[in-house]
Amino acid sequence: MHINISEQSGVRYLHFGTSWIQGAMRIARPWSLELEYTREMMASLLLRDAGHWPRKVLLIGLGAASLTKFLYRHRLLAHLTVVEIDPDVVVSARLYFKLPEDAKRIHLVVGDGAEYVLNSSKKFDLILVDGFDHNARAGVLDTLPFYQMCRERLGNEGVLAVNLLGRSRGFKGSMARICTAFEDRALVFPSCESGNAIAFAAAGQPIEISLDDLKENALALKEETGLNLLPTVARLAQAKTCLNNRLVL
Protein backbone atom coordinates (compact mmCIF):
# COMPACT_ATOMS: atom_id res chain seq x y z
CA MET A 1 0.00 0.00 0.00
CA HIS A 2 1.36 3.42 -0.94
CA ILE A 3 1.31 5.86 1.98
CA ASN A 4 1.32 9.65 1.71
CA ILE A 5 1.61 12.29 4.41
CA SER A 6 0.24 15.78 3.83
CA GLU A 7 -0.08 18.91 5.98
CA GLN A 8 -2.51 21.80 5.83
CA SER A 9 -3.39 24.54 8.32
CA GLY A 10 -1.47 22.88 11.14
CA VAL A 11 -3.00 19.42 10.60
CA ARG A 12 -1.03 16.40 9.38
CA TYR A 13 -2.95 13.82 7.34
CA LEU A 14 -2.43 10.16 6.48
CA HIS A 15 -3.43 8.89 3.02
CA PHE A 16 -3.24 5.47 1.40
CA GLY A 17 -2.12 6.61 -2.03
CA THR A 18 -5.25 8.72 -2.66
CA SER A 19 -6.69 12.01 -1.41
CA TRP A 20 -8.92 9.99 0.95
CA ILE A 21 -8.02 10.88 4.56
CA GLN A 22 -7.20 7.82 6.67
CA GLY A 23 -6.13 9.70 9.78
CA ALA A 24 -5.19 13.14 11.05
CA MET A 25 -3.32 14.90 13.86
CA ARG A 26 -3.25 18.57 14.78
CA ILE A 27 0.47 19.10 15.19
CA ALA A 28 0.07 21.46 18.14
CA ARG A 29 -2.26 18.97 19.93
CA PRO A 30 -1.03 15.48 19.04
CA TRP A 31 -3.08 13.77 21.78
CA SER A 32 -6.40 15.27 20.70
CA LEU A 33 -8.89 13.65 18.35
CA GLU A 34 -8.89 15.75 15.20
CA LEU A 35 -11.42 13.85 13.09
CA GLU A 36 -15.05 13.93 14.17
CA TYR A 37 -15.66 10.21 13.75
CA THR A 38 -12.79 9.36 16.13
CA ARG A 39 -14.41 11.55 18.76
CA GLU A 40 -17.71 9.77 18.17
CA MET A 41 -16.05 6.37 18.69
CA MET A 42 -14.98 7.54 22.14
CA ALA A 43 -18.67 7.87 23.06
CA SER A 44 -18.15 4.27 24.15
CA LEU A 45 -16.50 5.75 27.27
CA LEU A 46 -19.89 7.18 28.28
CA LEU A 47 -21.56 3.78 28.42
CA ARG A 48 -19.80 2.04 31.31
CA ASP A 49 -18.47 3.04 34.74
CA ALA A 50 -15.55 5.37 34.01
CA GLY A 51 -13.87 4.53 37.31
CA HIS A 52 -12.25 1.34 36.07
CA TRP A 53 -13.42 0.76 32.49
CA PRO A 54 -11.99 -0.17 30.07
CA ARG A 55 -8.95 -2.11 31.27
CA LYS A 56 -8.35 -4.20 28.12
CA VAL A 57 -8.88 -2.65 24.70
CA LEU A 58 -8.52 -4.11 21.21
CA LEU A 59 -8.10 -1.65 18.35
CA ILE A 60 -8.34 -3.01 14.81
CA GLY A 61 -6.78 -0.56 12.39
CA LEU A 62 -4.07 1.85 13.56
CA GLY A 63 -4.27 4.66 11.03
CA ALA A 64 -2.74 7.83 12.49
CA ALA A 65 -2.94 6.27 15.98
CA SER A 66 -5.48 8.85 17.21
CA LEU A 67 -7.63 6.46 19.24
CA THR A 68 -4.59 4.61 20.57
CA LYS A 69 -2.96 7.83 21.78
CA PHE A 70 -6.14 9.16 23.34
CA LEU A 71 -6.75 6.01 25.37
CA TYR A 72 -3.06 5.75 26.26
CA ARG A 73 -3.10 9.26 27.68
CA HIS A 74 -6.49 9.28 29.39
CA ARG A 75 -7.05 5.69 30.51
CA LEU A 76 -3.85 5.01 32.39
CA LEU A 77 -4.92 1.57 33.61
CA ALA A 78 -5.86 0.34 30.14
CA HIS A 79 -3.75 -2.15 28.20
CA LEU A 80 -4.07 -1.58 24.47
CA THR A 81 -3.75 -4.29 21.81
CA VAL A 82 -3.49 -2.76 18.35
CA VAL A 83 -3.75 -4.88 15.19
CA GLU A 84 -2.64 -3.26 11.94
CA ILE A 85 -2.27 -5.22 8.71
CA ASP A 86 0.24 -2.90 7.02
CA PRO A 87 3.69 -2.52 8.61
CA ASP A 88 4.19 0.77 6.74
CA VAL A 89 1.24 2.25 8.61
CA VAL A 90 2.97 1.37 11.88
CA VAL A 91 6.17 3.05 10.71
CA SER A 92 4.25 6.15 9.66
CA ALA A 93 2.41 6.31 12.98
CA ARG A 94 5.72 6.29 14.83
CA LEU A 95 7.51 8.74 12.52
CA TYR A 96 4.75 11.26 11.83
CA PHE A 97 1.95 10.80 14.37
CA LYS A 98 3.75 10.36 17.70
CA LEU A 99 2.66 6.79 18.47
CA PRO A 100 4.21 6.07 21.89
CA GLU A 101 6.84 3.37 22.33
CA ASP A 102 5.58 1.55 25.43
CA ALA A 103 5.58 -2.23 25.17
CA LYS A 104 4.06 -2.56 28.65
CA ARG A 105 0.83 -0.81 27.74
CA ILE A 106 0.70 -1.03 23.94
CA HIS A 107 0.89 -4.46 22.33
CA LEU A 108 1.27 -3.84 18.60
CA VAL A 109 0.47 -6.72 16.25
CA VAL A 110 1.19 -6.51 12.53
CA GLY A 111 -1.41 -8.79 11.04
CA ASP A 112 -4.97 -9.30 9.87
CA GLY A 113 -7.53 -8.04 12.38
CA ALA A 114 -10.12 -10.69 11.57
CA GLU A 115 -7.58 -13.49 11.90
CA TYR A 116 -6.42 -12.06 15.22
CA VAL A 117 -9.97 -12.06 16.60
CA LEU A 118 -10.54 -15.59 15.29
CA ASN A 119 -7.35 -17.01 16.81
CA SER A 120 -7.22 -15.07 20.07
CA SER A 121 -8.53 -16.41 23.36
CA LYS A 122 -8.29 -13.06 25.14
CA LYS A 123 -11.27 -11.14 26.43
CA PHE A 124 -11.59 -7.40 25.99
CA ASP A 125 -13.72 -4.69 27.59
CA LEU A 126 -13.73 -2.54 24.46
CA ILE A 127 -13.18 -3.40 20.80
CA LEU A 128 -12.77 -0.53 18.32
CA VAL A 129 -12.99 -1.42 14.63
CA ASP A 130 -11.72 1.16 12.16
CA GLY A 131 -10.09 -0.74 9.32
CA PHE A 132 -10.33 0.22 5.64
CA ASP A 133 -8.23 -0.26 2.55
CA HIS A 134 -7.23 2.49 0.10
CA ASN A 135 -10.66 2.21 -1.53
CA ALA A 136 -12.40 2.71 1.83
CA ARG A 137 -13.59 -0.91 1.89
CA ALA A 138 -13.75 -2.85 5.15
CA GLY A 139 -13.77 -6.31 3.54
CA VAL A 140 -13.98 -9.16 6.04
CA LEU A 141 -14.17 -6.63 8.90
CA ASP A 142 -17.78 -6.00 7.87
CA THR A 143 -19.12 -9.54 7.86
CA LEU A 144 -21.44 -11.44 10.19
CA PRO A 145 -18.78 -14.03 11.18
CA PHE A 146 -16.39 -11.23 12.13
CA TYR A 147 -18.96 -9.46 14.31
CA GLN A 148 -19.86 -12.79 15.91
CA MET A 149 -16.19 -13.37 16.71
CA CYS A 150 -15.98 -9.89 18.22
CA ARG A 151 -18.85 -10.74 20.51
CA GLU A 152 -17.02 -13.88 21.63
CA ARG A 153 -13.96 -11.77 22.49
CA LEU A 154 -15.88 -9.31 24.67
CA GLY A 155 -15.95 -9.74 28.42
CA ASN A 156 -18.76 -9.20 30.91
CA GLU A 157 -18.72 -5.43 30.42
CA GLY A 158 -17.93 -5.61 26.72
CA VAL A 159 -18.64 -2.88 24.19
CA LEU A 160 -17.97 -2.89 20.45
CA ALA A 161 -17.65 0.36 18.48
CA VAL A 162 -17.45 0.22 14.69
CA ASN A 163 -16.79 3.03 12.23
CA LEU A 164 -19.36 2.55 9.48
CA LEU A 165 -17.93 4.79 6.81
CA GLY A 166 -20.57 6.55 4.72
CA ARG A 167 -20.51 3.84 2.10
CA SER A 168 -22.20 4.30 -1.25
CA ARG A 169 -24.94 1.85 -0.34
CA GLY A 170 -25.32 3.19 3.18
CA PHE A 171 -24.73 1.14 6.31
CA LYS A 172 -28.06 -0.67 6.77
CA GLY A 173 -26.50 -3.99 5.77
CA SER A 174 -23.61 -3.48 8.18
CA MET A 175 -25.98 -2.57 11.00
CA ALA A 176 -28.14 -5.62 10.28
CA ARG A 177 -25.10 -7.87 10.59
CA ILE A 178 -24.06 -6.27 13.90
CA CYS A 179 -27.62 -6.58 15.26
CA THR A 180 -27.72 -10.25 14.29
CA ALA A 181 -24.35 -10.97 15.91
CA PHE A 182 -25.31 -9.17 19.14
CA GLU A 183 -28.96 -10.29 19.26
CA ASP A 184 -30.21 -6.73 18.70
CA ARG A 185 -28.11 -5.25 21.51
CA ALA A 186 -26.82 -2.63 19.10
CA LEU A 187 -27.59 0.84 17.81
CA VAL A 188 -26.08 3.33 15.42
CA PHE A 189 -25.51 6.94 16.39
CA PRO A 190 -26.73 9.56 13.89
CA SER A 191 -24.22 10.22 11.12
CA CYS A 192 -21.74 12.98 11.78
CA GLU A 193 -21.07 15.69 9.22
CA SER A 194 -18.28 13.64 7.65
CA GLY A 195 -20.81 10.96 6.70
CA ASN A 196 -19.41 8.43 9.14
CA ALA A 197 -21.81 6.68 11.49
CA ILE A 198 -20.63 4.85 14.59
CA ALA A 199 -22.33 1.64 15.66
CA PHE A 200 -22.19 0.43 19.25
CA ALA A 201 -23.02 -3.04 20.52
CA ALA A 202 -22.84 -4.58 23.97
CA ALA A 203 -22.18 -7.96 25.52
CA GLY A 204 -22.45 -9.14 29.11
CA GLN A 205 -23.91 -6.71 31.63
CA PRO A 206 -26.86 -4.73 30.21
CA ILE A 207 -26.47 -1.02 29.55
CA GLU A 208 -29.41 1.22 30.42
CA ILE A 209 -28.68 4.89 30.79
CA SER A 210 -30.82 7.99 30.47
CA LEU A 211 -29.86 10.72 28.04
CA ASP A 212 -29.56 13.07 31.02
CA ASP A 213 -27.01 10.74 32.61
CA LEU A 214 -25.22 10.45 29.27
CA LYS A 215 -24.97 14.23 29.26
CA GLU A 216 -23.54 14.17 32.79
CA ASN A 217 -21.00 11.55 31.72
CA ALA A 218 -20.09 13.68 28.71
CA LEU A 219 -19.54 16.71 30.94
CA ALA A 220 -17.28 14.65 33.22
CA LEU A 221 -15.31 13.31 30.23
CA LYS A 222 -14.90 16.83 28.87
CA GLU A 223 -13.58 18.03 32.23
CA GLU A 224 -11.19 15.09 32.45
CA THR A 225 -9.88 14.90 28.89
CA GLY A 226 -11.00 17.99 26.99
CA LEU A 227 -13.07 15.83 24.63
CA ASN A 228 -16.49 17.39 24.13
CA LEU A 229 -19.16 14.80 23.32
CA LEU A 230 -22.10 17.01 24.30
CA PRO A 231 -22.95 17.61 20.61
CA THR A 232 -23.02 13.84 20.09
CA VAL A 233 -25.45 13.37 22.98
CA ALA A 234 -27.58 16.25 21.68
CA ARG A 235 -27.80 14.68 18.21
CA LEU A 236 -28.71 11.36 19.78
CA ALA A 237 -31.54 13.04 21.67
CA GLN A 238 -32.78 14.87 18.56
CA ALA A 239 -32.77 11.66 16.51
CA LYS A 240 -35.21 10.05 18.96
CA THR A 241 -33.61 6.65 18.49
CA CYS A 242 -33.61 6.04 22.25
CA LEU A 243 -36.99 4.88 23.54
CA ASN A 244 -38.22 6.99 26.49
CA ASN A 245 -34.96 8.95 26.34
CA ARG A 246 -32.98 5.95 27.56
CA LEU A 247 -30.11 4.28 25.77
CA VAL A 248 -30.49 0.53 26.20
CA LEU A 249 -28.00 -2.07 24.96
- Cα 15 to the center of its chain, rounded Å: 19
Helices (H), 98-143: 113-119
Phi-psi region of 164 (alpha: psi -120 to 50; beta: other; left: phi over 0): beta
Which positions are catalytic?
130
Phi-psi region of 9 (alpha: psi -120 to 50; beta: other; left: phi over 0): left
With CA atoms as reference, report the closest residue to 37 among 70, 77, 81.
70
Number of alpha carbons in the 13 Å side-chain half-sphere of residue 201: 31
Task: Yes or no: say if 99 and 49 are a contact pair by the CB < 8 Å rule.
Answer: no
